[in-house]
Amino acid sequence: MPTSRADVATEHARRYLQQLCKHWAHKFPVEFDPTHGTIDLSLGRTVMDADATALHIVVSTEEAGSIERLESVVADHIKRFAFREELTFDWKPAPTA
């Protein structure tokens, strides 16, 4: 299962985690609290963890060709919530379990 991760530096990680989860909760299975969230999108799964300095995101998909699309969809949505700051998403392949 193709998996990638990004650690996005921001002091507002908890806010963005909750905003993204609430945004998609009407359409996809979502579970979240202030520091951890999972979203099961049609493209694949997104898992986020927030701390005081960063939002840690892991995306995974069943289809190898969909990982870049999933990365883009997640990053684009978070960037919309974070319009007051410039966020950097440096996606890297993540080891699979």
pLDDT at 96: 60
Tens of pLDDT, residue by residue over 41-72, are 999 999 999 999 999 999 999 987 899 999 99
DSSP helix, strand, coil percent of the chain (3-state; round to 5): 30, 30, 40
Tens of pLDDT, residue by residue over 72-95, are 999 999 999 998 999 999 999 987
CA-nearest of 81, 79, 85, 92 to 7 is 92
Q: Is the pLDDT of residue 36 over 80?
A: yes
The whole-model pTM stands at 0.94
Please state, in angstroms and rounded to a whole number, the distance separating the CA atoms of residues 76 and 45.
16
Contact (Cβ atoms closer than 8 angstroms) between residue 13 and residue 87: no
